[in-house]
């Protein structure tokens, strides 16, 4: 189970702190621990350009510790087990090292924090962390809404989009997405939406067949059994777009669908694996995931598959199977 040990890097800014309620919800839902991290970089210009750099960095460490202690003792943290870490080092590398040393199973990170030279830019740090972290990273944007239930529209579930590409590696995002939507949803009204974006309409029959197969395996608990166990609704759609990343964003944010499968409008979060196919039949995750991350304002759960797998093969001849838009 994920979200048992949640690393939350902060830089002291309100922009970074806005994700704290999400981390608290995850920890509370799973009886988990929050690891508050603030990195002190002795190479910050305000330290390195003075003869008092050692004293300044020591004072910065004390200030950082006091800041995290005060935060951990605030009312929202009551009942949540919290650990505090204030190491020296470069920000991106230290976040990754701390995550491994503290056995974190997830990282909750804001894409932006301070913009001044006296603190670290979370934009570049988020790039490094999402590319290199071994555990899932839940990444937030300043302008994006926080996916905390209940949904603003009471008739709509909290919904996470999971783009697939035909490979077992892409499917590794399903279980973390299910755990996330279960933890964040204020009720049982939650859903996953599976999508395939294809660049050629000739792939439509194979795409439909593939999604039908995956949904059947989910129902039979052969894939991500938590989905069936938690009675999470599953919807699907196929979109045609020569730019795969743009197609994923359009489905996530606008609900675009080539097949009129009853898609709802939009999603609250996107969950994607960092690696997928290395060839046909559909497209390749990796660079696509990075482009989606750069192009959307939605929160993203970015999952690095633990092991490589062979892509599922699509039959050239098959019996058409009618699909429904929801299980």
pLDDT reading at 325 higher than 80:
no
- Strand 33-37 vs strand 5-9: parallel, antiparallel, or unpaired? parallel
pLDDT cut 70: percent of the chain above it? 73
User: What pLDDT shows up at residue 16?
Assistant: 86
User: What pLDDT shows up at residue 219?
Assistant: 94
Please write the tens of the pLDDT for every residue from 234-274: 989 998 999 999 999 999 988 766 554 555 568 899 999 88
The mean per-residue pLDDT over the stretch 294-321 comes to 61
pLDDT reading at 43 higher than 60:
yes
First to last CA, the chain: 24
The two most distant CA atoms of the chain are separated, in Å, by 76
The answer to whether 171 and 303 have CB atoms below 8 angstroms apart is no
Three-class SS state of 274: coil
**Beta carbons within 8 Å of 256's beta carbon, 6+ residues apart:** 239, 247, 250, 263
What is the residue-wise DSSP string for 118-186?
TS--HHHHHHHHHHH-SS-EEEE-SSSPP--SSPSSTTSPEEEEEE--SSHHHHTTHHHHHHHHHHH-S
pLDDT reading at 190 higher than 60:
yes
- In the chain, the domains with their CATH numbers are 5-140 (3.40.50.620), 158-303 (3.40.50.620)
Q: How far is CA 312 from the centre of its chain?
A: 24
User: What pLDDT shows up at residue 316?
Assistant: 35
The pTM (predicted TM-score) of the whole model is: 0.83
pLDDT reading at 186 higher than 50:
yes
Lowest mean per-residue pLDDT among 16-30, 50-64, 153-167: 50-64
User: What pLDDT shows up at residue 320?
Assistant: 35
User: What pLDDT shows up at residue 47?
Assistant: 47
The answer to whether 220 and 199 have CB atoms below 8 angstroms apart is no
**Beta carbons within 8 Å of 78's beta carbon, 6+ residues apart:** none
Report the chain's mean pLDDT, rounded to a whole number: 80
Q: Bridge-partner residues for 34, per DSSP?
A: 6, 82
pLDDT reading at 111 higher than 60:
yes
User: What pLDDT shows up at residue 123?
Assistant: 56
pLDDT reading at 312 higher than 50:
no
């Amino acid at each position: 189970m994920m979200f048992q040990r949640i690393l939350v890097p902060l830089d002291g800014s309100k922009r970074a702190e806005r994700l704290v309620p999400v981390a608290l919800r995850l920890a509370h839902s799973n009886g988990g621990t929050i690891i508050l991290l603030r990195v002190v970089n002795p190479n910050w210009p305000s330290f390195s350009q003075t003869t008092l750099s050692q004293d300044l960095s020591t004072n910065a460490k004390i200030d950082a510790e006091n800041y995290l202690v005060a935060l951990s003792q605030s009312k929202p943290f009551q009942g949540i087990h919290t650990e505090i870490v204030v190491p020296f080092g470069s920000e991106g590398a230290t976040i990754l090292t701390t995550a491994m040393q503290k056995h974190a199973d997830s990282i909750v990170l804001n894409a932006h924090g301070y913009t001044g030279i006296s603190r670290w830019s979370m934009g570049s740090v988020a790039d490094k962390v999402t590319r290199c972290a071994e555990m899932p990273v839940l990444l937030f944007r300043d302008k994006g809404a926080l996916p905390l239930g209940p949904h603003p529209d009471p008739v709509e579930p909290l919904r996470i989009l999971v783009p697939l590409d035909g490979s077992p590696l892409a499917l590794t995002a399903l279980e973390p997405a299910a755990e996330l939507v279960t933890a964040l949803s204020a009720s049982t009204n939650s859903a996953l939406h599976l999508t395939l974006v294809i660049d050629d309409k000739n792939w439509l029959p194979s795409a439909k067949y593939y999604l039908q197969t995956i949904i059947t395996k989910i129902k039979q608990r052969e894939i991500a059994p938590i989905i069936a166990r938690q009675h999470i609704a599953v919807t699907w759609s196929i979109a045609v777009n020569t730019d795969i990343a743009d197609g994923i964003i359009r489905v996530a944010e606008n609900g675009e669908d080539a097949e009129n499968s009853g898609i709802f409008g939009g999603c609250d979060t996107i969950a994607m694996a960092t690696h997928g196919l290395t060839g046909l039949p559909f497209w390749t995750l990796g660079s696509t995931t990075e482009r989606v991350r750069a192009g959307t304002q939605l929160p993203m759960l970015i999952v690095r598959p633990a092991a490589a797998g062979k892509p599922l093969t699509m039959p050239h001849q098959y019996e058409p199977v009618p699909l429904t838009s929801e299980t």
